[in-house]
Amino acid sequence: MNLPYKQILFWLIIAALLTPFFINTQTYFPFIITKATVFRVLVEIMLVCWLGYLIKSQKTKEIFRHPLIIAVAVFGLMIFLSAIFGVNFEWSFFSGNERMEGVFGIWHFMLFFVILATTFKKEELEKLLQSQIYISLFYAFLALLAYQGVGQVTSAMTSNRLAGYTGNPSFYATYALFNAFLALYFAFEEYSNNHQLINRWFVIFLGESLLMILTGCRGAFLAWLGTLFLMGLMIFWKSSDKQLKKVLGILIVVILVGWGSLFAFKETAFVKNNFALARLTSFSLTDPTTVSRLLSAQTAFRAFLEKPFFGWGIENYQTAYIKYFNPTVIKYLPGDFFFDRAHNKPMEVLATSGIFGFLSYLAIFVIALRIIFQKQKQEPQWFLSGLALAGALVSYFLQNVFIFDFHESYLMFYLTLAFVASLAPVPVKAEVPALKTSAHSDFAPELFKGFIFLATLCLVIYSLTFWVISPYLVSKNIINVMKLVANGQGEAAYELAQDLFRQPTFLRHDAVIGLDKFISAYQNKLDEATLKKLVDLLLTNADLSFQETSNYLILLSKADLEIIASRWDETALARAEENFKQAIELAPNFPQPRLSYARLLINNNKYEEAKQQLDVVITLNDKLPEPYYFLSALAQAQGDLDKSREFLIKSIELGLQLNDKNTILQIVNNLVPLKRYDLIEKLYLQAIQLDPKDARLYVYLAADYGKLHNKEKAIEYALKAQQLDPSLKEASQEFIQLIQNEEWEKIPD
């Protein structure tokens, strides 16, 4: 069959470049799983077409000759060895729904690179790069719409920051950064031909750069600025183009003056009220994010020293992080200190794949830059273009010091590497015609190629079925089980959960952790018989998962589930207690297992043991609100109401977050006699977040603002209550009249 393999591959690659657009809000981790699934399906189809292309074009030997392909293959081998010698091979190889990376995922990107590098020439890859840049412009358009709340991705889903369909502003910043420097490459290509620097590509470069800046991601901004500075030095040193040097000088002055002005006025409302500008003027070695990243890098290095050769296995950084956790991080990031990534890619590679993986990772960049510099020497007119292309790789490496890889960054990195590989094509050796020694043809080579093709086809079918489609279906079914539980359809939820756990074992971990939290929150929606079946099912699979590897999160899930099981099993609390002890042993400097354990001890009247755990948490970080909240509960249980109120007030002052409206209202009743209307305001705002359609909460908050003599807010919430419940109109108007007349004493508590 004479198929146009190359043309098919071209359009499959275009489809792969569109995968950042794929999200599905009906899946577990909606911004990750769908992109990864579609990309893997496309790459595996590409693999079959590529083998057909190689067989047809007789190029099978060439793929082993290119130094960049060899470097990528060596790194691929090193991460596989790290998985074998690491602490959890299955997790290293397959990863989970949250990241969808692992050896299996990275190999797909490497295969994507090899297919591009061995199939297309420089001119063809330039067309693909240009297509990617145009795709990124449409992506930027959708990102801006999403930022304004238009479309299925809203700003609320991305922390009210510019992130688009990546779901994370740091991810989008990296994506824009790559496309900015690729656009600059084509801007310099046009400049070399017509000496007009201000062209469409340069405008795109400025646009992508601006979008990157608007994300407020300081790591990407520093990488962009540092790379431009290095490029500027190279141009002033190497180039004889006076016009370019003049434009570059003006650009440097504009950037420095602009950034300097922002720093000069960083205390003004204009800068403070703009998130991106505020972020870009808040560089400090004592900044919480900066300190936490530095401490995480130190943790990664300590982990590397224990396993220096092949590391802990990629995807296993979390295990190393827990073991070598520095509790100082909690003081800087009290609510977000639990990392499964080092937030420093080079250090993470060092910790998870050892020195061999680290050196092979660096070798990819060294060889790629060497190819670019060699071409610059061979073609001096290509100097600027090569500089921009090198800038894409350098800026990517620099920003990776502050973050980690993900779908969009891998896609852009290996696409760029494929183009770099095309700059140094491997010369094809002239084939010496074989002497004809027999009238009969030797069909063995053709049969072997046919066997390889069929074997690959079978492997692809198996992979797509069990390793690509199954994770996606599990991700969807986790959400479906959650919906059924929330709707009180316990039996249907149980049957679907059973099907879910029949999937490949590497997906069990995600399912247990995801469903445990939801069932804990919605257990009252289910009858006890059905709840028992669901909990027993989760506990069985949690035990199986824990037997495979001692996982801290699985232990916490087991403890939560055992607490639920104590409703019908008297021995379950003892098992929950044992699970918490094991979790504390694994992560002695983590507050969460100690807090959960303390709550269990308080409920079981073990007050001294509970206090010991809470004291340890306060020693780790005395700014956490939760230990004081539990100390309040402990004091109340012991009959010391004054001490209980004291701890309760301190917990609210420190920012206690509650997830039950009725609990909040009970606490408010305790605070009213104390006239702590400032704290009552915080609690009512939380209650409204939990139940935004309860008109009573707006009435209560309006009255609280009246007590605080805040006219504007009191009237605002009184009107909101009236909108939700028109029957409150008369009372609302009377209240507003009191506020306007400043008759504060007439406002009821």
What is the DSSP annotation of 310-359?
A: T-S-TT-HHHHHHHT--THHHHH-TTS---SS-S-HHHHHHHHHHHHHHH
Report the Cα 107 to chain-centroid distance in Å.
19
- Among 26-30, 312-316, 498-502, which range has the highest average pLDDT? 312-316
Instruction: Count CB neighbours of 619 within 10 A.
Output: 11
Dihedral sign, Cα of residue 499, residue 505, residue 506, residue 508: positive
Indicate if the pLDDT at residue 319 is higher than 80: yes
In angstroms, rounded to a whole number, what is the distance separating the alpha carbons of residues 127 and 450?
A: 32
Q: Does residue 212 contact residue 176 with C-beta atoms inside 8 Å?
A: yes
- Give per-residue pLDDT as tens, 678-736: 999 999 999 999 999 999 999 999 999 999 999 999 999 999 999 999 998 888 898 99
Indicate if the pLDDT at residue 452 is higher than 60: yes
Q: Does residue 140 contact residue 208 with C-beta atoms inside 8 Å?
A: yes
- Confidence at residue 142, expressed as pLDDT on a 0 to 100 scale: 93
Dihedral sign, Cα of residue 98, residue 104, residue 107, residue 109: negative
In angstroms, rounded to a whole number, what is the distance separating the alpha carbons of residues 285 and 569?
A: 52
In angstroms, rounded to a whole number, what is the distance separating the alpha carbons of residues 151 and 143?
A: 10
- Confidence at residue 748, expressed as pLDDT on a 0 to 100 scale: 79
- Give per-residue pLDDT as tens, 461-471: 999 999 999 98
- Confidence at residue 62, expressed as pLDDT on a 0 to 100 scale: 63
What residues contact 162, with CB distance under 8 A and at least 6 apart? 143, 144, 147, 169, 172, 211, 214, 215, 216, 276
- Confidence at residue 427, expressed as pLDDT on a 0 to 100 scale: 57
Indicate if the pLDDT at residue 317 is higher than 90: yes
Q: Which two tokens stand for residue 238?
A: 């190497």
Average pLDDT value for the chain: 90
Q: Which two tokens stand for residue 241?
A: 């183009």
Angle between helices 661-671 and 677-690 (to 10 degrees): 170
Per DSSP, 429 falls in state: P
- Confidence at residue 194, expressed as pLDDT on a 0 to 100 scale: 86
Which of 568, 222, 546, 235 shows the shortest CA–CA distance to 376?
Answer: 235
In angstroms, rounded to a whole number, what is the distance separating the alpha carbons of residues 320 and 296?
A: 11
pLDDT-based confidence at residue 450 (cuts at 50, 70, 90) = confident
- How far from each other are the two terminal CA atoms of the chain, in whole angstroms? 83
DSSP 278-313: HHHT---TTSHHHHHHHHHHHHHHHHHHHSTTT-S-
- Confidence at residue 109, expressed as pLDDT on a 0 to 100 scale: 98
Residue found under tokens 């080092």? 342
Q: Kindly report which listed range (78-82, 237-241, 535-539) carries the lowest average pLDDT score.
A: 237-241
DSSP 603-662: HTT-HHHHHHHHHHHHHH-TT-SHHHHHHHHHHHHTT-HHHHHHHHHHHHHTT-----HH
- Confidence at residue 378, expressed as pLDDT on a 0 to 100 scale: 93
* Mean pLDDT computed over 144-159: 81
* Mean pLDDT computed over 29-43: 95
Surface-to-core class of residue 513, CB atoms within 10 Å of its CB (0-12 exposed, 13-18 middle, 19+ buried) = buried
Q: Which two tokens stand for residue 743?
A: 């008759």
DSSP 167-204: SSHHHHHHHHHHHHHHHHHHHHHHHHHH---SSHHHHH
Report the Cα 147 to chain-centroid distance in Å.
18
Total-model pTM:
0.90
Write 721-730 long-range contacts (CB < 8 A, 24+). Answer: 721/695, 721/696, 724/693, 724/694, 724/695, 724/698, 725/695, 728/695, 728/699
- Confidence at residue 742, expressed as pLDDT on a 0 to 100 scale: 86
- Confidence at residue 430, expressed as pLDDT on a 0 to 100 scale: 52
* Mean pLDDT computed over 353-381: 96
* Mean pLDDT computed over 630-645: 93
- Confidence at residue 283, expressed as pLDDT on a 0 to 100 scale: 74
* Mean pLDDT computed over 138-155: 87
What residues contact 322, with CB distance under 8 A and at least 6 apart? 552, 586, 587, 590
Q: Which two tokens stand for residue 258?
A: 């602009």
pLDDT-based confidence at residue 224 (cuts at 50, 70, 90) = very high
In angstroms, rounded to a whole number, what is the distance separating the alpha carbons of residues 511 and 499?
A: 11
- Confidence at residue 443, expressed as pLDDT on a 0 to 100 scale: 66
Q: Does residue 415 contact residue 14 with C-beta atoms inside 8 Å?
A: no
- Confidence at residue 183, expressed as pLDDT on a 0 to 100 scale: 97
- Give per-residue pLDDT as tens, 342-361: 999 999 999 999 999 999 99
pLDDT-based confidence at residue 71 (cuts at 50, 70, 90) = very high
* Mean pLDDT computed over 498-506: 82
Indicate if the pLDDT at residue 105 is higher than 70: yes
- Give per-residue pLDDT as tens, 158-197: 778 889 899 999 999 999 999 999 999 999 999 988 888 8
- Give per-residue pLDDT as tens, 601-622: 999 999 999 999 999 999 988 8
Indicate if the pLDDT at residue 441 is higher than 80: no
